[in-house]
Amino acid sequence: MLNMPHPARATIVDVARAAGVSRQTVSNAINSPERVSPDTLSRVLQVVEELNYRPSSAARTLRHQRAGAVGTELNAVTGTPSEVALPFLTALTLAAPGHACHMVPFASREAFPMLSGYQDMVRRRLVDAFVLTDTHPADPRPDWLEQAGIPYASFGRIYDDSSRVWWADVDGSAGTSAAVAHLAETGFRTVGFLGWPAGSAVGDDRRLGWLAGVEQHGLALGPEAAAPQSLSQAISAAERLLDGLAVGDAVVCASDVLALGVQQAALARGWRPGRDIGITGFDGSATAQLHDISTLVQPLDEIAEHLLTVVHDQLAGAPAPTQGALFLPTLTVGASTVTTSMKGTP
């Protein structure tokens, strides 16, 4: 018996691409045909038929019988929200019309137990489902949402129960491995690591990619150090780390703030980032952009698209995915890894 891969179901993206129109136009053709010109409407509906695209159960249910909205929490508790929070909300907001829904943010100043805001949104019938962010071990939200029968999908793994697969996340170790590969290509031969203190699932994953990359590319393993997500502490840790490195070496970092710490510590000892020391960050944040640091950019558009699809499938009663989805980050090169031809090749 052949174990053929199940043919992928056509998505709204496939239809939009084949018809040469935007996702919004596909959605309009299905939900508000009066808003689409007759020519376009006929072309889109033909592609819908050819690809056997079936949006009705999920999208129409969401649009016509429910709130038609997906809630997402904005962190109003800590003073320093994730640097990815706004770009991710923007990606969700851009993706939502293609899923015949809109996003409704909510926020609370209460730190714990965090569930009241979710309960309130459901009671007010403002949303049908949630996209979670900032998942963490002992997160009470997945349990509560499942018990309440409320669909959700999360940006970030669900740590306590591997049978829960309604998530998408960034492949951190693949990312730091790619950073090492880039440093090897650029001519750096010894690569150290600045991470977060051990025990952070995300940080530990990013550390593994550094080790694997150094091994794979036959580079020398540099020293490692750790600091929390604070610039002053990152600078202190980087100073110690740089004491064990030399001009021409490089440091892979678990975040852009840590990479900024290495950049500042290097500048303080007169090492020019990119020439005297290679530095890579992680997250593609505004901080990396501002300081011209090479960084691993999270594919937020793809992740948002995946999560809204997962939410729709749940609302439509479609079968659960068999596993969470890992997405590869892509390296954006800044001045922190741009070397001149001064380096010899080995």
Site of interaction with its own copies (CB under 8 A): 24, 35, 69, 74-76, 79-81, 83, 85-87, 89-90, 93-94, 97, 102-109, 120, 123-124, 126, 231-232, 257, 260, 267-268, 286-287, 289-292
Task: Rank residues 9 and 124 by Cβ distance to its own copies and give the closer one.
Answer: 124
Task: Rank residues 184 and 259 by Cβ distance to its own copies and give the closer one.
Answer: 259
Q: What is the CA radius of gyration of the chain?
A: 23
Neighbour tally for 300: CB within 10 Å: 21
Q: Which helix (H) or strand (E) holds 295?
A: strand 294-297
The β-bridge relationship of strands 294-297 and 277-283 is parallel
Q: How far is the CB of 307 from its own copies (least distance, A)?
A: 16
The pair phi, psi for residue 103, each rounded to 5°, is: -95, 145
Q: How far is the CB of 89 from its own copies (least distance, A)?
A: 7
Q: How far is the CB of 80 from its own copies (least distance, A)?
A: 6
For residues 175 and 295, what is the distance between their CA atoms, to the nearest angstrom? 9
Structure tokens belonging to residue 331: 């390296």
- Nearest one of 320, 300, 326 to 95, comparing CA atoms: 300
Q: Could you give the strand order of the β-sheet that contains 190-195, starting from the edge strand earlier in sequence?
A: 220-226, 190-195, 249-253, 277-283, 294-297, 330-332
Contact status, residue 144 vs residue 115, Cβ threshold 8 Å: yes
Q: How far is the CB of 123 from its own copies (least distance, A)?
A: 7
Q: How far is the CB of 23 from its own copies (least distance, A)?
A: 12
Task: Rank residues 94 and 212 by Cβ distance to its own copies and give the closer one.
Answer: 94
Q: How far is the CB of 92 from its own copies (least distance, A)?
A: 9
Contact status, residue 63 vs residue 31, Cβ threshold 8 Å: yes
**Start-to-end CA span in the chain (Å):** 52
Task: Rank residues 252 and 260 by Cβ distance to its own copies and give the closer one.
Answer: 260
For residues 117 and 141, what is the distance between their CA atoms, to the nearest angstrom? 11
For residues 246 and 265, what is the distance between their CA atoms, to the nearest angstrom? 13
The length of the chain is 346
Structure tokens belonging to residue 286: 């505004």
Q: How far is the CB of 217 from its own copies (least distance, A)?
A: 31
For residues 289 and 293, what is the distance between their CA atoms, to the nearest angstrom? 6
Q: How far is the CB of 290 from its own copies (least distance, A)?
A: 5
Q: How far is the CB of 271 from its own copies (least distance, A)?
A: 13
In one-letter notation, the amino acid at residue 150 is: I
What DSSP string runs through 160-204? T-TT---EEEE-HHHHHHHHHHHHHHHT--EEEEEEPPTT-HHHH
Q: How far is the CB of 193 from its own copies (least distance, A)?
A: 21
